[in-house]
Amino acid sequence: MTSYLDCADRAVGGRRTIQIIDQTLRDGPQSWWGMRMRKSMGLPIAGELDRTGFNAIDLVGSSIFEVLVRHCKEDPWDQLISLSKAMPRTRVRAGTRSNGIVTFGLTADSVMDLWVQRLCAHGIGSFWIYDGLFNIDKIGRLVKVAQAHGAEAVPCILFADSPYHTDEYYAQKTRELVALGADGIELEDAAGLLTPERTRSLIGAIKKEAGDLPVEAHFHSNNALSPLNYLEAVLAGADRVHTASRPLAAGVSLPSTENTVANLRYAGFDVEIDDSRLEVVEQHLLNVAKIEELPVGRPAEFSLYQYRHQLPGGMAGTFKNQLKDRGMEHRFEEVLDEMALIRRELGYPVMATPFSQLVGTQAVLNVVTGDRYSVVPDEVLLYVNGFYGEPVAPLDQDVLDKIMDSPKAKTYAEWEPPQPELDELRAKFGKDISDDELILRLLVPEHDIEVMRATPPRTIDYGLTSRELANIRKLISTSVGAYLHVESGGFELTLHGDH
C-alpha cells in the first residue's frame, strides 16, 4: 500500500483546490442534538460561517421543520429566513427527498414542487436531492424546479453495502443523474460503512461518469474511518467534502472541519477558507452545549458489527427509547440482528430515510410481538407494493406472501398514491392561506403549530457561560412561583411576573 506521505503523488489531476460544504447548522446538530438547534443557537455564528469561505452552508431539511415546531416551539420559516439573510456571501443549501417531506410515506408532487419553490424564495441557492431507490423521473422534476428558481441541484447517491450495490450499479445511476442536467453529484455514506479501498474504487467510478461535474463526499464517522476515507475520496477525484465544526462533528456526525482541512493541506491540496473563524464557531457551540446540557462530538471506535445492521448512528437512541418504554432495552442487539435479517428479506434497501426507519420499525415490532411480520406498518406495505420504487434486489417470497396475506395489504392492490393539486389542499385551510403557511400546516399537526405560536420567544445570550448563569437557567425552568431572586458574588437578578 502506498504511504499517505506520498498523497500529493497519488492525487488525480495534480494539485487541486478542495472545497468544503459546511454542515454545522444542519447535519451536525441533526446527528448530535436531534435537530434541536434554535435560532438563538445558530444566529450568533452565522456571520462567522458566512465569512469562512465555504462552497455552501447546509441549513435545512424537511424533518427539521417538524422538530423546531414541536420541540423547540419556534417558527421554522422565521429561522430559515433569519439565518439565510445573515449569510449573504455563501450559497445556502437545503436537502429533500424526491418523494416525501417529513413523512416516511409519500408526498404529492405538487407539494414537493411548492416546497422547493418556497425554500428558493427564502434564500436557498443549492439543493441536494436524494432517493434511495432512484426514482429518476421525480428527481429530475425537482432538479428542474430548483434550477428554474435560480438554485443549483445536486442529486445524492446513498451508499449501501450489499451484494447488489456494486460500483457498476452506482456508475449507472450516476450516468442517469448526470443526464438530468444536474449541477453535481453527492455520495453520502450515512452509516459510515465505506472502507478506504471501496471509497477509492467507488469515487473513481462516479467521477468517471460525472465528468466535469463536481463530486461531493458526505461520509458519517459512525465507524471511525471517514477522515481517512475523505483523503481517499479526494485522491480519487472528489472535489468537495462535507464537514462540521468540531463540537458537532465525529462519531455519528461528519469529520470535523478543523481536522479535515489540516489533513487536506498536509496531503498537498489547497483549501481556501479562513481558518481564523473556526475557533470562534467552536467556542460558541461549546458554550451552547454547556448551558443546554447537550452532548459534543466524540470519535467512534471501529465496529465490524456496523456492517451487519448498517443502522445510521442518529437512529440508535430512538430505538433504545422505544424498547425502554416497553421494558425491553436489554434486547437492543436483538433488534439490530433483526434489522439485518429484514434488510436482506426486503431486497437490501439502503439504510437512509425512509428505509432505515421502515426497517427499524419493523424490527422493533417483530421483536416486541414475537411473531415476525404479524404487524406491518403502512410504510412497509407501500414499499413491498413498489410505491417507493423498484427495490435493488428481489424480495424474499415467503416473507412477501406473509405480508400480502393480511387484509390491510390487500387494500393496496388497486390503490394509487393521491396527487392532489394545491387548490384542493388549500381549500382545507382557507383559500387565502399563504404558501408558507400551507407548507407548514401540511408538515406539522395544527395543535403543535398553535402551541408554538402561543409560546413566548425564548432567547439566551450564549456568550454568558458562567456556572451561575447555567444554574439560573435551571431555576427559571423549574420555578413554580411568581418571584425569583438570585444572588451570587457581585451578581444579582430578580424576576417576577403573574405566572
Residue 161 lies in a domain: yes
CA dihedral 142, 145, 148, 150 (to 10 degrees): -70
The domain spanning residue 112 has which CATH number? 3.20.20.70
Q: Kindly state whether residues 313 and 220 are assigned to the same domain.
A: no
Q: What is the pTM of this model?
A: 0.89
Q: Which of 248, 269, 290 is the last residue before a domain boundary?
A: 290
Q: Kindly state whether residues 353 and 282 are assigned to the same domain.
A: no
pLDDT value of residue 499: 44
419, three cell numbers: 396527487
**CA–CA dist 151, 252 (Å, integer):** 29
Beta strand pairing call for 491-496 and 483-488: antiparallel
pLDDT value of residue 104: 83
Q: Kindly state whether residues 64 and 119 are assigned to the same domain.
A: yes
Q: Kindly state whether residues 332 and 240 are assigned to the same domain.
A: no
Residue 457 lies in a domain: no
Q: Kindly state whether residues 90 and 137 are assigned to the same domain.
A: yes
**CA–CA dist 338, 324 (Å, integer):** 17
Q: Which of 232, 266, 290 is the last residue before a domain boundary?
A: 290
Give Cβ neighbours of residue 182 (< 8 Å, ≥ 6 apart).
143, 153, 154, 155, 213
pLDDT value of residue 319: 67
CB 64 within 8 A of CB 100: no
Residue 440 lies in a domain: no
What DSSP string runs through 150-183? T-EEEEEEEP--SSS--HHHHHHHHHHHHTTT-S
Domain limits for position 347: 302-411
Q: Kindly state whether residues 276 and 330 are assigned to the same domain.
A: no
Q: What percent of the chain is helix, strand and coil (3-state, nearest 5)? A: 50, 10, 40
Give Cβ neighbours of residue 410 (< 8 Å, ≥ 6 apart).
404
Domains held by the chain: number:
3
pLDDT value of residue 63: 82
Residue 232 lies in a domain: yes
Per-residue pLDDT of the chain (499 residues; tens, 9 = 90+): 456 666 656 666 668 999 999 999 999 999 999 888 999 999 999 999 999 999 999 999 878 888 899 989 999 999 999 999 999 999 999 999 999 988 788 999 999 999 999 999 999 999 999 999 999 999 999 999 999 999 999 999 999 999 999 999 999 999 999 999 999 999 999 999 999 999 999 999 999 999 999 999 999 999 999 999 999 999 999 999 999 999 999 999 999 999 999 999 999 999 999 999 999 999 999 999 999 999 999 999 998 888 888 877 656 666 676 677 778 888 888 988 999 999 999 999 998 888 988 998 999 899 989 999 999 999 999 999 999 999 999 999 999 999 999 888 888 888 899 999 999 999 988 888 999 999 999 999 999 999 999 998 877 878 754 555 656 666 666 666 556 666 655 555 666 554 4
pLDDT value of residue 459: 75
Residue 458 lies in a domain: no
436, three cell numbers: 408558507
Q: Kindly state whether residues 265 and 346 are assigned to the same domain.
A: no
Q: Kindly state whether residues 138 and 195 are assigned to the same domain.
A: yes
Residue 102 lies in a domain: yes
